[in-house]
Amino acid sequence: MHPPTATDAALVERLRSGDRGAFRELYARFSQATFGFLLRLAGRRDVAEDLHQEVWLSIARHATRLAPDTDLAAWIFTVARNRFRSSSRRRAEPLAARAPEEQLAGAPPSEDPGCRDLERALASLPEPYRELLLLVAIEGLDTTRVAAVLAIRPDAARQRLARARAALAELVDAQGRSPGRRMTS
């Protein structure tokens, strides 16, 4: 994700005015990334698909009420994260409680064993670390924008990112030392 630009500001203005073409442009630009983020958080394609629809319905309902200085990426990922968290609270069994192998069942397939190992390690991280790493490493948001999504201070986001990277490295390292061992967090 790139930092907000003048083009983003123009798109925000178009959204605020109810321009349907602006919504289509927004959807084309962020839909795939939003779905990938939800899929990796939820670990199940069916849940991610439902959440994706809910996210975009919410975005459509609220687009005309955006502040003129809205950071679109931060806003959209905040909506996605909030929908995921609300959905998780309503479930009898939280999605994160499932084994990492079950979570990977809905993840995008990878032919590279290293990528699969990394996805497995990522899926086994605690949710706060996983969502932060997804936003930084996969979605390309900087720590200031991630802080906005997570509703924390930028320095707290940087600290959490350092801890998340260390935890991920430890899991990947442990996985390399013990192939076939199921990782837990």
Residue 182 within a domain: no
Task: Please indicate, yes or no, if residue 120 is contained in any of the structural domains.
Answer: yes
CB-based contacts of 50-55 (< 8 A; 24+ apart in sequence): 50/87, 51/80, 51/83, 51/84, 51/87, 54/83, 54/87, 55/79, 55/80, 55/83
Q: Give the structural domain span for 16.
A: 6-177
**DSSP assignment of 116-136:** HHHHHHHHHS-HHHHHHHIII
Structural domains in the chain (count): 1
What is the residue-level pLDDT of the chain in tens, covering all 185 positions?
Answer: 556 666 899 999 999 999 999 999 999 999 999 999 999 999 899 999 999 999 999 999 999 999 999 999 999 999 999 999 998 887 655 554 444 444 444 445 556 666 777 888 888 899 999 999 999 999 999 999 999 999 999 999 999 999 999 999 998 888 776 655 444 43
Cβ–Cβ < 8 Å for 76, 34: yes
Residue 1: inside a domain: no
